[in-house]
Amino acid sequence: MADKAIPEWMLDNGQAGRKCGFSGVKKKSGFLEKTINDVAGVLKELIFSEQLSSAKGMLQNIDLRVKLITTVFLLLVTAGVRNIPTLAGLYLFTLMLAYFSQVPLGFFVKRVWVFIPFFTGIVVLPSIFNFVRAGDPLFNIINLGEPVNLGFFKLPTVIAVTKQGLAGAVLIILRVGVSVSLAVLLTITSKWEELLKALRVFFIPKIFIMVLGMTYRYIFLLLTVITDMFVARKSRTIGVNSLRENRKFVSAGIANVFGKAYFLSEEIHDAMIARGYTGEAKIINNFKIKAQDVIWIFLILVVGIIFWGGDLILGR
């Protein structure tokens, strides 16, 4: 009698897990889970960037106008140098700035170099071969036996990687890496609204800065709307939807988000006008040049001159 009172699936020697969907095999995530996780990752990164911009580091304490101008100066220095050791030194300098600005070096390096070798490498990869850039061969790739004509293009007998081509490719990748590192340092150690206000130093039109600020702010609001929509869909889903149903949901969701964005833009504009908006957003913090900003300008000028002069010496 005791056995009859127990459900059959509990006496099934491990089959219950498979019937209830707990077999221990990891199910492949669907598009709903992937979308929710990706949006959550973006929001998490935003929160982390806001924490970095509020830290008590070196760059966080520099006036944003000064930081912006000195970053542009360092970018010009980076664009002007033509030797790999100089660029390597500039990159070490950016790592030092990141360290003293309390930016985790692992996060900083990964954020810069995860994409640069892939995208920049694709562009510069052909230049390392002798059929694109002639030079002294480092090692041979393939021996064709005789030259090969491909229409207007002619391949040499031996395809090789050249010393000049490889050096040029490394130079370009390093230059892009240093430039992106400086840009990343500027953005993650600065509050976005203050950075936009500092752009007025370069006489950028107010309306352009305002559009950038509104776009940045409401992208994350729309991301929250998308997350709520997908979570609601997931919580009401039983079983597995067909591909056709998923496509219908995505198309309807896109239309819904566009509609919400349109109506939201009208409501925001009316609210701004009602509160006295005259064309330029106001922020609480006002910029003020301090002694440390003057010291920072002098330091960056000295660093730039040292690297530029060292590059000229190496280029002789």
The domain spans of the chain are 30-234+257-314
Distances (CA, A) of 92 to 61, 85, 89, 95: 21, 11, 5, 5
Strands 153-155 and 137-143 turn out to be: unpaired
| Bridge partners of residue 15, in order along the sequence | none
Question: Tell me, what's the pLDDT at 258?
Answer: 79
With b for 16 or more beta-carbon neighbours within 10 A and e for fewer, the 18-46 pattern comes to eeeeeeeeeeeeeebeebbeebeeeeeee
| Bridge partners of residue 150, in order along the sequence | 153
Alpha carbons within 13 angstroms on the beta-carbon side of residue 85 total 8
Residues 206-217: tens digit of each pLDDT: 777 777 777 777
Q: How far apart are CA 235 and CA 313, in angstroms?
A: 66
**Whether 154 contacts 39, CB under 8 Å:** no
Question: Tell me, what's the pLDDT at 127?
Answer: 83
Q: How far apart are CA 274 and CA 32, in angstroms?
A: 39
Question: Tell me, what's the pLDDT at 26?
Answer: 47
| Residue keyed to tokens 């198309």 | 251
Q: Which helix (H) or strand (E) holds 155?
A: strand 153-155
Residues 256-307: tens digit of each pLDDT: 777 877 788 788 778 878 877 776 656 556 677 888 889 999 999 999 999 9
Question: Tell me, what's the pLDDT at 64?
Answer: 84
Q: Which of 175, 228, 199, 160 is nearest to 65 (CA)?
A: 199
Indicate the pTM of the whole model.
0.68
Alpha carbons within 13 angstroms on the beta-carbon side of residue 76 total 11
Question: Tell me, what's the pLDDT at 22?
Answer: 45
> 3-class DSSP state for residue 24?
coil
Q: What are residue 129's phi and psi, to 5 degrees?
A: -95, 150
Q: Which helix (H) or strand (E) holds 140?
A: strand 137-143
Ranges of the chain whose pLDDT falls below 50 = 1-2, 9-11, 14-27
> 3-class DSSP state for residue 240?
coil
